[in-house]
Protein backbone atom coordinates (compact mmCIF):
# COMPACT_ATOMS: atom_id res chain seq x y z
CA UNK A 1 0.00 0.00 0.00
CA UNK A 2 1.22 3.50 -0.75
CA UNK A 3 1.84 5.91 2.07
CA UNK A 4 -1.11 7.93 0.94
CA UNK A 5 -3.42 4.94 1.10
CA UNK A 6 -2.11 3.95 4.50
CA UNK A 7 -2.75 7.47 5.74
CA UNK A 8 -6.32 7.48 4.44
CA UNK A 9 -6.96 4.04 5.82
CA UNK A 10 -5.69 4.87 9.26
CA UNK A 11 -7.77 8.02 9.27
CA UNK A 12 -10.85 5.94 8.50
CA UNK A 13 -9.96 3.45 11.20
CA UNK A 14 -9.55 6.25 13.70
CA UNK A 15 -12.91 7.75 12.87
CA UNK A 16 -14.60 4.35 13.14
CA UNK A 17 -13.01 3.79 16.51
CA UNK A 18 -13.99 7.19 17.82
CA UNK A 19 -17.62 6.74 16.78
CA UNK A 20 -17.62 3.37 18.49
CA UNK A 21 -16.37 4.73 21.75
CA UNK A 22 -18.06 8.12 21.51
CA UNK A 23 -21.16 7.41 23.61
CA UNK A 24 -19.17 5.81 26.40
CA UNK A 25 -16.69 8.60 26.67
CA UNK A 26 -18.82 10.60 29.09
CA UNK A 27 -19.24 7.61 31.36
CA UNK A 28 -15.53 6.85 31.22
CA UNK A 29 -14.61 10.42 32.04
CA UNK A 30 -16.81 10.38 35.11
CA UNK A 31 -15.45 7.03 36.28
CA UNK A 32 -11.87 8.16 35.82
CA UNK A 33 -12.69 11.33 37.71
CA UNK A 34 -13.88 9.18 40.60
CA UNK A 35 -10.66 7.19 40.48
CA UNK A 36 -12.09 3.90 39.25
CA UNK A 37 -10.12 1.54 37.08
CA UNK A 38 -12.23 -0.15 34.48
CA UNK A 39 -12.09 -2.39 31.45
CA UNK A 40 -13.78 -1.84 28.13
CA UNK A 41 -15.74 -4.54 26.31
CA UNK A 42 -14.40 -7.40 28.38
CA UNK A 43 -14.77 -10.37 26.03
CA UNK A 44 -15.18 -12.96 28.77
CA UNK A 45 -18.30 -11.36 30.25
CA UNK A 46 -21.82 -11.94 28.88
CA UNK A 47 -22.77 -9.20 26.43
CA UNK A 48 -19.25 -7.70 26.54
CA UNK A 49 -20.24 -4.80 28.80
CA UNK A 50 -19.02 -1.40 27.64
CA UNK A 51 -17.40 -0.85 31.01
CA UNK A 52 -16.58 -3.34 33.74
CA UNK A 53 -15.08 -2.59 37.14
CA UNK A 54 -13.92 -5.89 38.53
CA UNK A 55 -12.76 -4.48 41.87
CA UNK A 56 -16.37 -3.84 42.86
CA UNK A 57 -17.96 -6.29 40.44
CA UNK A 58 -20.03 -3.79 38.53
CA UNK A 59 -20.69 -3.43 34.84
CA UNK A 60 -22.18 -0.62 32.80
CA UNK A 61 -23.80 -0.87 29.42
CA UNK A 62 -24.18 2.28 27.35
CA UNK A 63 -27.11 1.58 25.06
CA UNK A 64 -28.22 3.39 21.95
CA UNK A 65 -31.92 4.18 22.40
CA UNK A 66 -32.95 2.88 19.01
CA UNK A 67 -30.90 -0.30 18.77
CA UNK A 68 -31.72 -1.36 22.27
CA UNK A 69 -35.28 -0.03 22.27
CA UNK A 70 -35.27 2.36 25.20
CA UNK A 71 -38.77 2.11 26.72
CA UNK A 72 -40.79 5.33 26.83
CA UNK A 73 -38.12 7.20 24.86
CA UNK A 74 -38.93 8.94 21.59
CA UNK A 75 -35.72 7.61 20.06
CA UNK A 76 -36.58 4.09 21.11
CA UNK A 77 -39.74 3.89 19.01
CA UNK A 78 -40.02 1.23 16.38
CA UNK A 79 -39.66 2.59 12.85
CA UNK A 80 -42.91 2.93 10.95
CA UNK A 81 -41.71 1.50 7.67
CA UNK A 82 -39.82 -1.68 6.85
CA UNK A 83 -41.18 -3.31 9.96
CA UNK A 84 -40.58 -6.75 8.58
CA UNK A 85 -36.91 -5.89 8.44
CA UNK A 86 -36.58 -4.02 11.72
CA UNK A 87 -38.85 -5.86 14.12
CA UNK A 88 -36.92 -9.14 14.33
CA UNK A 89 -33.60 -7.32 14.54
CA UNK A 90 -34.69 -5.06 17.37
CA UNK A 91 -36.48 -7.83 19.18
CA UNK A 92 -33.31 -9.90 19.00
CA UNK A 93 -31.26 -7.07 20.48
CA UNK A 94 -33.64 -6.62 23.39
CA UNK A 95 -33.69 -10.34 24.05
CA UNK A 96 -29.91 -10.56 23.95
CA UNK A 97 -29.60 -7.61 26.35
CA UNK A 98 -32.00 -9.18 28.80
CA UNK A 99 -30.14 -12.44 28.65
CA UNK A 100 -26.75 -10.80 29.25
CA UNK A 101 -28.09 -8.97 32.30
CA UNK A 102 -29.53 -12.17 33.70
CA UNK A 103 -26.26 -14.06 33.27
CA UNK A 104 -24.19 -11.26 34.73
CA UNK A 105 -26.40 -11.01 37.79
CA UNK A 106 -26.20 -14.73 38.28
CA UNK A 107 -22.40 -14.38 38.23
CA UNK A 108 -22.66 -11.79 40.97
CA UNK A 109 -22.20 -8.66 38.89
CA UNK A 110 -24.25 -5.56 39.51
CA UNK A 111 -25.52 -4.11 36.24
CA UNK A 112 -26.36 -0.56 35.19
CA UNK A 113 -27.74 0.52 31.85
CA UNK A 114 -27.07 4.05 30.73
CA UNK A 115 -29.15 5.19 27.77
CA UNK A 116 -27.68 7.35 25.08
CA UNK A 117 -30.28 10.07 25.71
CA UNK A 118 -29.07 10.30 29.31
CA UNK A 119 -25.54 11.19 28.31
CA UNK A 120 -26.44 14.80 27.59
CA UNK A 121 -27.72 15.52 31.08
CA UNK A 122 -24.36 15.59 32.72
CA UNK A 123 -25.42 16.23 36.32
CA UNK A 124 -28.02 13.53 36.28
CA UNK A 125 -25.67 11.07 34.69
CA UNK A 126 -23.11 11.81 37.33
CA UNK A 127 -25.66 11.23 40.09
CA UNK A 128 -26.90 8.03 38.51
CA UNK A 129 -23.39 6.61 38.24
CA UNK A 130 -22.50 7.62 41.76
CA UNK A 131 -25.60 5.98 43.18
CA UNK A 132 -24.91 2.80 41.26
CA UNK A 133 -21.26 2.63 42.25
CA UNK A 134 -22.03 3.22 45.91
CA UNK A 135 -24.82 0.74 46.23
CA UNK A 136 -23.99 -2.53 47.88
CA UNK A 137 -24.48 -5.40 45.52
CA UNK A 138 -24.82 -8.61 47.41
CA UNK A 139 -25.16 -11.73 45.36
CA UNK A 140 -28.01 -13.96 46.45
CA UNK A 141 -25.70 -16.47 48.05
CA UNK A 142 -23.71 -13.85 49.91
CA UNK A 143 -26.91 -12.18 51.01
CA UNK A 144 -28.20 -15.50 52.34
CA UNK A 145 -24.93 -16.18 54.16
CA UNK A 146 -24.80 -12.82 55.84
CA UNK A 147 -28.44 -13.18 56.88
CA UNK A 148 -27.77 -16.50 58.58
CA UNK A 149 -24.54 -15.31 60.23
ZN1 LIG B 1 -33.54 7.12 25.24
Distance CA 71, CA 26 (A): 22
- Residue 48: closest CA among 117, 89, 105, 101: 101
Q: Indicate yes or no: pTM above 0.75.
A: yes
Quote the ligand 1 centre to 74 CA distance (angstroms): 7
Q: Per residue in 88-135, pLDDT tens?
A: 999 999 999 999 999 999 999 999 999 999 998 889 999 999 999 998
Tell me the CATH class for 25-135: alpha beta
Quote the ligand 1 centre to 7 CA distance (angstroms): 36
Cα angle vertex 145, ends 141, 149, to 5°?
175
- Domain coordinates of the chain in residue numbers? 25-135
Distance CA 134, CA 36 (A): 12
Q: Per residue in 88-97, pLDDT tens?
A: 999 999 999 9
Quote the ligand 1 centre to 66 CA distance (angstroms): 8
Quote the ligand 1 centre to 72 CA distance (angstroms): 8
10 Å CB burial of residue 50 (0-12, 13-18, 19+) is buried
Amino acid sequence: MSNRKVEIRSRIMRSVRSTNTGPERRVREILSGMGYRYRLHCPSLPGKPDVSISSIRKVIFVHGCFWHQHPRCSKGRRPKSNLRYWSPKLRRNVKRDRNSVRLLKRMGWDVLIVWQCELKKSDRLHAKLQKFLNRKALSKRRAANSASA
